[in-house]
Amino acid sequence: MHRDRPHASDSVGLMSIQRYGKWDLRAVDRAAAARARARLREQGAPPEPERAAAVVLLREAPLRVLLLRHTAKEPFGADTGNGAPATVRERWADGFEDDRRSGGGRYGFPGGRHKPDDPDVAMTGVREVEEETGAMVALQRAWSRWITPEYEPVRFDAWVYVATLAEGFQPRVRVREPEYATWVGPEQAVCQYGGQMSMPEATTLAELSSYSTVGEVFAAAEQRDMSPVLPRLNACEDRPRLLLPGEDGYPAADLARS
């Protein structure tokens, strides 16, 4: 199995993961990329991203993450507000469009939009965990921060947290929230379900697969670069891919204004 895996010693920098298992985490379908570029040209200024949070719940031993399956959520766990998924999703979550047509769901973490009465975005994550699983967070650390690409009609400034549950709490599927929840190893999760996740979620799991304990993950979180990550399409129409800041070919502006 070929996979580009991060190492614990790389925890200060952000990810450079391109593939994991059978999934190419950066590839964008050519037709979808063409539609995205057309939308960038037509829409003018991209929508401002809303604050959001997603929480990777951890337990051991061995290291496990809580993986949820949703049927009607926006990329990165944020509800659209009307119970229906957005009508346009151009491969921000690779393979999700095909999965939705087949009646399936998407996999990811508890999370959602920041609400006005949330003291901060960290508490957004704590609240979403309770709402979606009935459990309470004990310890939480920021892991990464992602901005939805400019071509998406609904955009988020999403903070990803790693967390443990308060003693005595076990997550459960709640009415009108996730339809399925399971504890699974990060490597198994991304290898099995990576095509039904957003790129940030799949990348987060690929990163976590390098660690063996919750303590190692929390120690790495303390050294993470929390600069916001805005993926952008490359300029190659024959092989469209999402690039991250600092990578060769990363556009200085979205392709509609470059």
What string of pLDDT tens digits covers the 258 residues of the chain? 334 444 333 333 445 788 888 888 888 888 888 888 888 888 778 889 999 999 999 999 899 999 998 765 554 534 444 333 333 333 343 333 333 333 457 899 999 999 999 999 999 999 999 998 989 999 999 999 999 998 888 899 999 999 999 988 888 876 556 678 899 999 999 999 888 888 899 999 999 999 999 999 999 999 999 999 999 988 888 888 899 998 888 888 766 554
Residues in Cβ contact with 143 at an 8 Å cutoff, skipping those fewer than 6 apart: 56, 160, 161, 162, 204, 221, 224
Asked, for residue 248, whether it belongs to a domain, the answer is: no
Residue pointed to by tokens 């190692």: 216
The CA distance from 222 to 77, in Å, is 24
pLDDT score recorded for residue 94 = 36
Asked, for residue 209, whether it belongs to a domain, the answer is: yes
Asked, for residue 256, whether it belongs to a domain, the answer is: no
Asked, for residue 103, whether it belongs to a domain, the answer is: yes
CA torsion angle for 197, 200, 205, 208 (degrees, to 10)? Answer: 180
Indicate yes or no: pTM above 0.75.
yes
72 lies in which domain range?
A: 8-243
* Ranges of H-type helices in 102-185: 121-133
Determine the 3-state secondary structure of 157 from DSSP. strand
Asked, for residue 249, whether it belongs to a domain, the answer is: no
CB 51 within 8 A of CB 148: no
| Structural domains counted in the chain | 1
